[in-house]
Amino acid sequence: MAQQDISFSDTAVRGLPSVEQNSWALWGTVLFLAVAIALPFFLRSFVVFQLTLAMIYAIAIIGLVLLTGINGQFSLGHSAFFGIGAYTAAVLMDQFGVSFYWTLPVAGVVCFVFGFLFGLPALRLEGIYLALATFALAIAMPQILKSSLFEHWTGGVQGIVLIKPDAPFGLPISSDQWLYFLTLAIGLMLAVCAMNIVNSRTGRALIAIRDNPIAARAMGIDISLYKTLAFGVSALFTGIAGALSGVAIQFVAPDSFTFNLAIGLFVGLVVGGVQSIPAALFGGLFVLFVPNIAESVSKGLAGAVYGVILILVIYMMPSGAAGLARLVADKVLMKAHRKGPR
């Protein structure tokens, strides 16, 4: 699990996408948006709620993509940032009467700071040791949230009950639908931000550090700064997701943010494809729906069914849904090329 052996497929080497790929991506995005906007008008409100949650997980997974896929650091502790984000929003709303919309950026900033600070000692750790440190964070978080020291704010084991905001401006949609659209908009915005980060100088520095830290240092990249920044930014994404989830579920409690959540996010990251930001959505859907599917197959053996599905997914898509999609896209494009005028 040493950092170097996280083998990544070589998007960095693949060069710029061709014109065809770009136009495909454009049409794909348009189609996705059309479907995404239409969906809540055709589905039961519970399903709308579930899709909202899936998108929220996807946002958190984007944070992991930046950290793991792009920067090559490893975290089993993102449930903690998710929890910090959720509690930041909850405490602000519950104790200080802050509007829900304002809690989102605050949760992001708070998590950025926590992530950055956590990234500092984590700098000294690599691979497996970093995994353990983040893992410790994940284990510690529910205990800290339960602690009587903070009970005054956090409500201890009881947690905090929240209220969903209604649609503003008298829009004729339910609060579930409103939250769905809000999450969709925030998710898209954050996804675009993340893609811009990846394609920027900063992104190239992060990738360089992942692929060859020694060479990166030789090129004058400040490794410590970028690695802690990556941790901070990753926590920011996950924190915003956490804040959204608190409101979507209308309840925060310490045991919602256990190691299981960290594992869930991690699984979502890998089945989606560690390097792909769009694939985070697939990850989010997987995290939310596959356990339900497993349970519907067999109540008693739900865990086992889930495990088997997971193994099959890994066998069939070793580089995640994104890898599979790329493979299919390459094949299709190849064919198109051969038939084409050239």
Partner 1 sequence: MDLFLHQVLAGLATGGIYACMALAIVMIYQAIDHLNFAQGEMAMFSTFIAWQLMQWGLPYWVAFVATIVISFAAGVLLEQTVLRPLHGAPVLSHIVVFIALFAILNSAAGFIWDYTVKPFPTPFGTQPLFGQGLMSAHDGGMIAVTLIILVLLYLFFRHTRIGLAMRAAAANPASARLVGIRVGWMVALGWGMAAAIGAVAGMLIAPVVFLEPNMMISILLYGFAGAVVGGLTSPLGAVIGGFSVGVIENLAGTFIPYVGREMKLTIALALIVAVLTVKPSGLLGRRVMTRV
Number of other CB atoms surrounding residue 165 within 10 Å: 15
Q: How many residues bind partner 1 (CB under 8 A)?
A: 51
- Counting contacts by CB under 8 A, is residue 310 touching partner 1? yes
- Counting contacts by CB under 8 A, is residue 263 touching partner 1? yes
Q: Tell me the two tokens of residue 130.
A: 């970093």
Whole-Å CA distances, 159 to 90, 93, 106, 262, 307: 9, 13, 20, 19, 31
Residue 3 or 21: which CB sits closer to partner 1? Answer: 3
- Counting contacts by CB under 8 A, is residue 215 touching partner 1? yes
- Counting contacts by CB under 8 A, is residue 13 touching partner 1? no
Taking each continuous run of H as one helix and of E as one strand, the counts in the chain are 14, 2
Least separation, in Å, of the C-beta of 113 and partner 1?
18
Among 65, 94, 146, 276, indicate the residue that binds partner 1 (CB under 8 A): 146
Least separation, in Å, of the C-beta of 275 and partner 1?
11
User: Which secondary-structure segment (H or E) carries 293?
Assistant: helix 279-297
Q: What is the CA radius of gyration of the chain?
A: 20
**Stretch binding partner 1 (CB under 8 A), from 97-105, 144-152, 168-176, 243-251:** 144-152
Distance CA 128, CA 59 (A): 25
Q: Look at residues 240, 238, 254 and name the one whose alpha carbon lies nearest to residue 101.
A: 240
Among 66, 209, 241, 270, indicate the residue that binds partner 1 (CB under 8 A): 270
Residue 126 or 211: which CB sits closer to partner 1? Answer: 126
Among 36, 98, 302, 324, indicate the residue that binds partner 1 (CB under 8 A): 302
Among 23, 95, 143, 158, indicate the residue that binds partner 1 (CB under 8 A): 143
Among 30, 37, 128, 332, indicate the residue that binds partner 1 (CB under 8 A): 128
**Stretch binding partner 1 (CB under 8 A), from 146-154, 187-195, 245-253, 327-335:** 146-154
Strands (E) located in 127-262: 160-161, 251-252
Distance CA 243, CA 116 (A): 18
Least separation, in Å, of the C-beta of 301 and partner 1?
5
- Counting contacts by CB under 8 A, is residue 282 touching partner 1? no
Least separation, in Å, of the C-beta of 14 and partner 1?
17
Query: What's at 139, amino acid-wise?
Result: I
> What is residue 165's DSSP assignment?
P
- Counting contacts by CB under 8 A, is residue 206 touching partner 1? no
Distance CA 151, CA 316 (A): 46
Q: For residue 64, how many C-alpha atoms fall within 13 Å in the half-sphere facing its CB?
A: 35
Strands (E) located in 83-240: 160-161
Q: Give the dihedral sign, CA 194/81/275/48.
A: negative
**Stretch binding partner 1 (CB under 8 A), from 1-9, 11-19, 79-87, 197-205:** 1-9
Q: Which residues bind partner 1 (CB under 8 A)?
A: 1-2, 4-8, 68, 121, 124-126, 128-129, 131-133, 135-136, 139-140, 143-144, 146-149, 214-215, 263, 266-267, 269-271, 274, 300-308, 310-311, 314-315, 318-319
